[in-house]
Structure 1
C-alpha cells in the first residue's frame, strides 16, 4: 500500500507539471495545445475558468468512454474510468492554480512568446513522462483514444491524430460562433502538437529513463528488479 501510494504521488506530480506546461503555453499568447483548445476557447468566451472548462470536457470524455465500452467492458475498465474523475478534478485545480501564479506573465515580443512556448512544451513533456511511468492511471483524453481505437480496431497513433484534429476543429468552430474570429488556435498550437511528442520520446529514452528514475524514486522500481538485486547480492 505504501508503494502504491508513492506511485500515485508521482502521478499527481506529473499532473502538476502537465498543468503548468499547459498554462505556460497559454501564456505565450500563441495558442494552446490541441487537447486544451476547446477548453481554452470556452474559458475565453464564458465566465468559467480554464480549469473548470477542462473538468467539464474531461467528464464528457469519461461519459464517452462508458459508451465506447458498452456491452464489452470489464470491471477493471469501469474502475479505470471512474478513477479518472478525482484525477481530472486535481488536474483542473492545478490548471487554475497555475493560471493564478502565472497571471503576470505577459511576453513583450514575439521572441519571448516563442521562448515561453518552448519552455511550456518542455514542462508539459516532463509531466507526461511522470504521468506514464508509475502506470497507475490514465487521463481522460488518452483513455478515450485507447477505448476508441480498441472499439473500432484502429491503431492508437492514428486515432490520436484524428482525435486532436477533431478537437482543434471544434475549437475553431466554437471560436467563430462566439466571436466571428479564431481565438486560442494559432501557430503555437501546431508547434506544441508537433514538438511535445519528440520531447517526450527524448526524455523517456535519454533523460528520464527507468534506470535514472529508479535512482531518484526507488518506489517505481518493479518488485522483480528488487528481487533480482537481492539475489545478486547474495
Structure 2
C-alpha cells in the first residue's frame, strides 16, 4: 500500500475520532448523563480540577496497561504495535474532547425536550464517528481494544464481554460518584438511551448510508 493511501486511511480514522469526541460532548451537554464508555471519566472530571479530556486520557492509559497485562503470556509483535499505536490517538482524542467542551461551553438546554434533542444528535454524531473509526481498519481505541484482548484472553465472545465491560464502567461511575459527591452524577436516563440506540445507528449507517462502496468514491484508499 502506498504512503498516500496509508495517510488517507489514518486521516479518516482521525476524522472519526473527532466525530466520536463531538458526539460524546453533545451527550454530556444534554445534561442527561453520558455514554457508558465515558461515565467514569466524566465523574472524575466533575470531582477534580482535571478536564474531561485529561481524565479520558488517564483512563485510556490504564486500559493500555491493562492490555499489556492481558497479553503477557501470549505477546506478539503485532499486538504490541497495535497497543502502542493507541498512545498518540488517545492523546488526539482527548484533545478533541476538550476542544469540543470549550466550543460548547455556552450550550445549556432550556428544557427536557431540548435535552433529548441534544442527546439524540450526540448519539448520531457519535455513531458517524464510530463508523469512520472502523472503516479504515488501521487502529482501535483503548476501550474496544481492551475488550478485544480480554475476550481473547478469557475465550469469551466480544459482544458479551463488551456488555459486561460497559455495565462495569457504569457501576464504577455510580460508586465513584456516591463516594466523591454523595449523589449520582453523570449517569442518568441519557446513559441508558445512548447505550441502547448507538449500536443500532452504527449498524444502519454502516450497512445503508456509509457503506464501503460509498466511501470508495470519496477515498479509494479504503479499498
Which runs of 5 or more residues in structure 2 are unaligned? none
Which runs of 5 or more residues in structure 1 are unaligned? 222-234
Match of 2:201 in 1: 199
Distance in 1, Cα, partners of 2:124 & 2:31: 17
Match of 2:123 in 1: 121
Distance in 2, Cα, partners of 1:46 & 1:179: 11
Match of 1:151 in 2: 153
Map 1:16-165 → 2, pairs under 5 A: 16-165=18-167
> What root-mean-square deviation, in Å, do the aligned CA atoms of Structure 1 and Structure 2 show?
0.4
TM-score (norm 2): 0.99
Match of 2:210 in 1: 208
How many pairs are equivalent? 221
Distance in 1, Cα, partners of 2:210 & 2:173: 33
CA deviations 1:47-89 (Å, max 9, x no partner) are 0000000000000000000000012010000000000000000
Match of 1:230 in 2: none
Distance in 2, Cα, partners of 1:212 & 1:111: 34
Distance in 2, Cα, partners of 1:139 & 1:133: 13
Please report how far the alpha carbon of residue 2 of structure 1 lies from its aligned counterpart in structure 2 after TM superposition. Answer: 1.2
TM-score (norm 1): 0.94
Greater gyration radius: 1
Distance in 2, Cα, partners of 1:70 & 1:178: 34
